Structure 1
Amino acid sequence: MSIRHGLLALLASGTRYGAQLRTEFQARTATTWPLNVGQVYTTLGRLERDGLVVQEGVDAAGRVLYAITDAGRAELRDWYESPVDRAHPPRDELAIKLAMAVAAPEVDVRAVLEEQRRHTARALRDYARLRTDAARPATRDGIARLLVLDRLIAQAEAEARWLDGCEARLTGSFAALECP
């Protein structure tokens, strides 16, 4: 997830202070990716260092306002125009956990799969509920939230199918290992 580009996107519509960026980022992404305000200010510092944002005064409450620069707009445009790279996928903790569990004779891999399946089903229900709530006001922010929730639902559904496939593969593989 690109916090850097998310903040640039928010700043493209006007100046903001850090906590405001955090709130708007979380609202736009249906609060599915909590963002620490310290993370926002650290990222703003890097964006400022890289010439992509500048401090542009303070508001009435004394909070520092940030604005996107022309270089920041160019960076943001490049981000929008470039596909998300799949050549180096992020580490997947669940895949790593199962890969390690399969090789550990003391681990009940089926129990690990079942617990994950329950968790995935819960997440799917939660995302569906959030999607129902987000669908009510037809605003740009509402549509943004729906897009994020639709993606999370699709990922959870894919994970459930993958878990079923893992169980089928393990059942067949363990049976073959046990045969002399």
Structure 2
Amino acid sequence: MSVKHALLALLEQEPMYGYQLRAEFERRTGTTWPLNVGQVYTTLTRLERDGLAVAEGEDGEGHLVYRITDGGRDEVASWFTTPVARTQPPRDELAIKLALAVTVPGVDVGTVIQQQRSATMAALQDYTRLKRRAADGTAGADGAERADLAWSLVLDSLVFGAEAEIRWLDHCEARLRRAAVEQGRDAARPTDAGTLPVGEAPARGTR
């Protein structure tokens, strides 16, 4: 997640101070990815260093307010129009866990899959309840409706992600079952009488 670009996109609307930026970010994403206010101010310092934002002074309550620069606006425009790269996907802990589970002796991979599926199903149910709750909410002002739409899109992403993870877990389970069946067949397959291991001579009296 690019905190830098998210903060710039918010600053493009109006100047804000750190706590405002954090509150706006979490309001629009439904606190799905909470931000530490220290992280916000560290990012603002870097944005100022890079000429993408500038501190324009304190407001009446002593908050240091930042505004976006022309360079920052160009950066935001480029971010919105540039596809998210998939060449270096983020580390997926679940994929790594299963990849190791199938290679480490003594791990019950079936149990790993079942436990994860139960957890992901529970998360999917939570996301679905949140979507229903959001859909039942009353319409507010234009800004509130846009924030609700933003949160709804984030929920859609979480729902689709959970559904895809469940399908992938089902796929992994089916692959493991097929592999177990094939290994069982290989173990039960009789040795070809006409084939001898390399370096082993035929028994005396055979042709």
Q: Distance in 2 between matches of 1:134 and 1:149?
A: 10
For the pair shown, which has the larger CA radius of gyration, 1 or 2?
A: 2
How far apart are 1:55 and its partner, in Å? Answer: 0.5
The question of 1:86 aligning with 2:86 is answered yes
Q: Distance in 2 between matches of 1:132 and 1:48?
A: 41
Query: How high is the TM-score relative to the length of structure 1?
Result: 0.95
Match for residue 59 of structure 2?
59
How far apart are 1:96 and its partner, in Å? Answer: 0.4
The question of 1:154 aligning with 2:160 is answered yes
Query: How high is the TM-score relative to the length of structure 2?
Result: 0.83
Q: Distance in 1 between matches of 2:37 and 2:176?
A: 43
Unaligned runs of 5+ in 2: 140-144, 188-207
Alignment RMSD: 1.2
Greater relative contact order: 1 or 2 (C-alpha under 8 angstroms, separation 6 or more)? 1
1:81-125 deviation per Cα after TM superposition (whole angstroms, max 9, x unaligned)? 111111211111110010011111121111111111111111111
Match for residue 143 of structure 1?
149
Match for residue 179 of structure 2?
173
Mean CA deviation greater in 7-16 or 55-64:
55-64
Mapping of residues 104-123 of structure 1, within 5 Å: 104-123=104-123
Q: Distance in 2 between matches of 1:27 and 1:15?
A: 17
Q: Distance in 2 between matches of 1:120 and 1:48?
A: 40
Unaligned runs of 5+ in 1: none
Moved over 3 A (4+): none
Match for residue 101 of structure 2?
101
**Paired residue secondary structure (2:65):** strand
Q: Distance in 2 between matches of 1:122 and 1:38?
A: 32
How far apart are 1:137 and its partner, in Å? Answer: 4.3
**Paired residue secondary structure (1:24):** helix
Amino acid at match of 1:105: P
1:109-146 deviation per Cα after TM superposition (whole angstroms, max 9, x unaligned)? 11111111111111111111222233324400000001
Mapping of residues 11-22 of structure 1, within 5 Å: 11-22=11-22
Does the C-alpha gap of structure 1 residues 137 and 57 become closer, same or farther in structure 2, counting only changes over 3 Å? farther
Q: Distance in 2 between matches of 1:105 and 1:111?
A: 14
